[in-house]
Amino acid sequence: MTYRVCKSFEVESGHMLSKHPDRCRFPHGHSRRIEIVVSAATLDRNDMVCDFKVLKLAIGEFLDQFDHAMAINSADPMAEALGKVAGSRLIVFEGVDPTTEVLARHIYDYLKAEVGSGRTYRDHRGTSYALRSDLVVERVRVWETSSSWAEYAG
């Protein structure tokens, strides 16, 4: 038997798809919903797969980099000019367009590495939280619009 939980996050983010033949090659933004599904075969000592708070602590800062930021392909002809304007709010993906599929994989890979890190997280009160080492990152789903999403499952 497998137990699953899902934690959702929302970010406002922009991207440019330099390989796209139409309007998506121009700067545009999305109200993105990001769903993270993790699972475990057993519940922990608190009768949970994991505390939702530890998921927020583990990935919240990473996702914050996308909020009100512009993601682009390093090969985009506008990369240098945008770097001068956007500064730290520019996220450059090396050689690939930052499609919703690419974003889902990028977030998945980050969280999977966090699960394996053994790291402890602290909230604003100093309470410690840790991700279980046997936690399985099942999938990351990134909504681009209210009717369109992409998902990566390892």
What mean pLDDT value characterizes the chain? 95
Rounded to whole angstroms, the Cα distance separating 152 from 32 reads: 15
Of 148 and 82, the one with more pLDDT: 148
Rounded to whole angstroms, the Cα distance separating 7 from 140 reads: 10
What are 49-103's pLDDT values in tens digits? 999 999 999 999 999 999 999 999 999 998 888 888 888 899 999 999 999 999 9
pLDDT at position 43 over 90: yes
Count CB atoms within 10 A of the CB of residue 128: 10
Average pLDDT over residues 39-52: 96
Domains, the chain, ordered by start: 3-152 (3.30.479.10)
Question: pTM of this prediction?
Answer: 0.94
Rounded to whole angstroms, the Cα distance separating 11 from 68 reads: 8
pLDDT at position 118 over 90: no
Q: If you write DSSP's letter for every residue of 96-153 in order, what string do you get?
A: S---HHHHHHHHHHHHHHHHHHT-EEE-TT--EEE--TT-EEEEEEEEEETTEEEEE-
Rounded to whole angstroms, the Cα distance separating 84 from 96 reads: 20
pLDDT at position 154 over 90: no
Q: What pLDDT is stored for residue 129 in this prediction?
A: 93
Q: What pLDDT is stored for residue 44 in this prediction?
A: 94
> Per-residue confidence at 15, pLDDT binned at 50, 70, 90?
very high
